[in-house]
């Protein structure tokens, strides 16, 4: 048995999702405008800066994503970073959004990409596709940032953690932090 076969037998997608659910992420809307002018967008939390020089970001999108198809065709896209009060927007774009969600979400088109940028987002970026990489059931899109805007105000971010949207809460210095984990003989904990 090869190493890869043993790993896939032990680490199911569901177990990986539950384990990585402990890693809190920000929430964004990735958007692009199709050749026919239709705006597309999808919620994404697998987003990161990659490099400051040149300025690169990455987004991971499901291979069957219609927004991904438009991003790959147009070679340009935008990111709108969501704040804590924008859960409804995140939920709207978590489903197929061929244009209709954009009708109720105030936005402007990016000057360099034509992609929709959410007006009330605390940060927005416009990018062109720099490279792509295989990410299993996702495609990793690396974008070179062409332009960006952000507020200088402290705006609490919308956070995704353990399969739910949440907000950051200040941590009390009196709270104990547990750093122990049960012994599982290397097999993981499949308890709900």
**Predicted confidence (pLDDT) per residue in 85-120, tens digit:** 999 999 999 876 556 778 889 999 999 999 999 999
Partners of residue 107 on adjacent β-strands: 118
Predicted local distance difference test score (pLDDT) of residue 63: 95
Predicted local distance difference test score (pLDDT) of residue 181: 53
**Band of the pLDDT at 69, cuts 50, 70, 90?**
very high
- Which residue ranges make up each domain of the chain? 30-153
User: Which is nearest to 89 in space by CA: 156, 155, 165, 20?
Assistant: 165
Predicted local distance difference test score (pLDDT) of residue 7: 55
177 vs 12, higher pLDDT: 12
Give, in words, the CATH class of 30-153. Answer: mainly beta
pTM of the model: 0.81
Is the confidence at residue 82, as pLDDT, over 90?
yes
CA–chain centroid gap for 151, Å, is 20
Question: Can you give the length of the chain in residues?
Answer: 192
Who contacts 31 (Cβ-Cβ below 8 Å, separation ≥6)? 39, 40, 41, 42, 67, 77, 78, 79, 80, 115, 116, 117
160 vs 171, higher pLDDT: 160
Distance (Å, rounded) from C-alpha 89 to C-alpha 72? 24
Is the confidence at residue 126, as pLDDT, over 90?
yes
**Band of the pLDDT at 35, cuts 50, 70, 90?**
very high
- For the chain, what percent of residues have pLDDT higher than 70? 82
Predicted local distance difference test score (pLDDT) of residue 176: 61
């Amino acid at each position: 048995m090869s190493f890869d076969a043993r790993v896939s037998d032990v680490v199911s997608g569901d177990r990986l999702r539950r384990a990585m659910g402990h890693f809190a992420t920000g929430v964004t809307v990735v958007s692009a405008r199709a050749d026919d002018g239709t705006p597309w967008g999808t919620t994404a939390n697998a987003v990161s800066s990659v490099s400051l020089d040149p300025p690169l970001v990455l987004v991971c999108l499901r291979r069957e994503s219609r927004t991904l198809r438009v991003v790959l065709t147009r070679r340009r896209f935008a990111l709108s970073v969501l704040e804590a009060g924008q859960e409804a927007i995140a939920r709207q774009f978590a489903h197929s959004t061929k244009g209709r969600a954009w009708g109720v979400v105030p936005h402007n088109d990016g000057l360099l990409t034509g992609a929709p940028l959410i007006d009330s987002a605390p940060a927005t970026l416009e990018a062109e596709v720099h490279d792509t990489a295989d990410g299993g059931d996702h495609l990793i899109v690396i974008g070179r940032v062409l332009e960006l805007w952000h507020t200088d105000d402290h705006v609490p971010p919308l956070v995704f953690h353990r399969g739910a949207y949440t907000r950051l809460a200040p941590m009390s210095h009196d709270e104990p932090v547990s750093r122990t984990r049960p012994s599982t003989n290397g097999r993981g904990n499949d308890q709900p």
